[in-house]
Amino acid sequence: MNIRSTDAMPKEIDFAADFVIENQALYNEMFNLLKNIITKLNQDSMSNSSFCSVIKTPEGVTKPLLKIFNLTDRQMLDAFEKIGFVKNSRMYSNLYYQALSLVYYIGVKKQDAVLRQYAIALIYIKLFNGRKYKWMPNGCQEEIAQYMMTNVLRESHTFKKYPNPFLAIVSSLTPTLDAKYYSYVKDHPADQNHGLISILKNGWNRMDQIFRGIKDHYYEAYRNHDKILLSSQNNQYASDMVEVSEEVIHKLIDKIQKTSMVNTNKLTFEDKAFLKQSYFVSETFLDKIEHTLNDMDDDVRNVYELLFSVMKVNESNICNTHITSSAAKISGAKGNDQRILKLKQYVDSILNSTYRGILASSSDSQKLKLRKIIILMILLKGKKAFCSNAKFETSF
C-alpha cells in the first residue's frame, strides 16, 4: 500500500510555491494583491461598528492567484485532493480556499508571517459569511445585535472585544490560528488531518463554534429586548398619548403620496445596505418593493393609515418615531387588535402583488421577516417626507 509521507507535498504544490518564492516580482504581485484587499476591507470596516456588518467576500482573488502559481483549475484540484482537500466536499474543493491555502504554504516556506495572516484572514471572511448565513438564516437585526453585545455576551467574547467582525478576525482569530498550527504545517504539510488542511478545517471549526454560541445569545437577546420594548413607558404606544384623528392621518398620507410621486423620499444606498445586511435580501427585491410602495395604491395607503393610528403619529412627533423598534413590535405583535390584523393583511397583499405567491412558499419565520421589511420601508419613506435626516436607527 502506497502511503504518502506527511512531509512531502505533491510536486505540483511544491513547484508552484518554489516558483513564486524564487521569482521576486511574482511574490510581490501576490503579496500586494492580498495586502490591497485587506487594506480595502479594513477601510470599509471603519464605517461599520456593528456585529451585523457585512464583510463582503472579496472577488478577483482566485484567478489572479492561479495565474501567479501557473496552475490550472484542474491541476490545483488534483494536487490538493492528495493532501485531503477532497473533491466531493464543497468547501475543500473550493478554489478560493485552495488558492489561499497555497498562499499560506508559501508564507510558511518563506517564513513570512504577514503573508500567512493575510491568507488566513481572507479564508476566515468567507467562513464568517457562510456560518452567519447558516446560523442566522432570518438575518441580523441591528437593534437586537446591539442589545446582545451590551447586555448578553461576556466581556471576554471575541466579537465583543472589537468594534466589528472584521477587526475581530484580523486582530484575534487570525493570529491565534496561525500561532497554533504554523509549526506543524511547516514540519508535516501533507498530513491529511493536521497539515496544510488544518488551517481551513480548524478555521471552520472555530467559526462554527462561535456562531453556535452567538445563535443562542442572539435569540436570548431577542426575547429580552422584546420584553423591554413592550414594557417601556417611553415608547410611542404609551396609553397616555392622545389618539390621532383620521383627518390628521389622511393629511400625513397625502403629503407622503406627493413626495413618493416625485421620488424625493426614496431609499438611499445606506438605507438599502442596512436592509440587505440585516435581512439578507437583494437590492432587486428592495427596488421592486419600493416601486410598489411609490405607486401608493389603496393597500399602501391603508398600511400607512393603520400604522399611524396604532403608533399615534402626527406631524409634530413623526420625526421622533423609532422606526426599527416600531417595525419589530408591530410585525411580531400577537392578539386580536383588529388594526394589527388588517395591517398584516394589507402588507401581505403588497408582497403578493409584487412577488406572486411569495408568501405561500415561505415559512412562518420568513413571512415575519418579509412583513417587517415592508413595514420598515413604509415607515422610513413616510418619515422621509417630513424629516430630512430620517434613517434606520442602529441602536435603541
Residues 280-291 have a mean pLDDT of: 89
In this predicted structure, what is the pLDDT of residue 226? 54
If one compares 259 and 198, the residue with the highest pLDDT of the two is 198
Half-sphere exposure of 55 (CA within 13 A, CB side): 31
pLDDT over 70 percentage in the chain:
92
Q: Are 384 and 373 in contact (CB under 8 A)?
A: no
Residues 270-289 have a mean pLDDT of: 87
Alpha helices in the chain (DSSP H): 11-22, 24-45, 62-69, 73-81, 95-110, 113-135, 142-147, 165-168, 174-187, 197-231, 246-261, 269-279, 283-295, 298-311, 323-331, 338-354, 364-384
Mean pLDDT of the chain: 85
Nearest residue to 275 via CA among 261, 260, 265, 289: 289
Using the 8-state DSSP alphabet, how is residue 243 labeled?
P
pLDDT digits (tens, 9 = 90+) for 97-129: 999 999 999 999 999 999 999 999 999 999 998
Q: Are 349 and 386 in contact (CB under 8 A)?
A: no
pLDDT digits (tens, 9 = 90+) for 31-56: 999 999 999 998 888 766 677 777 88
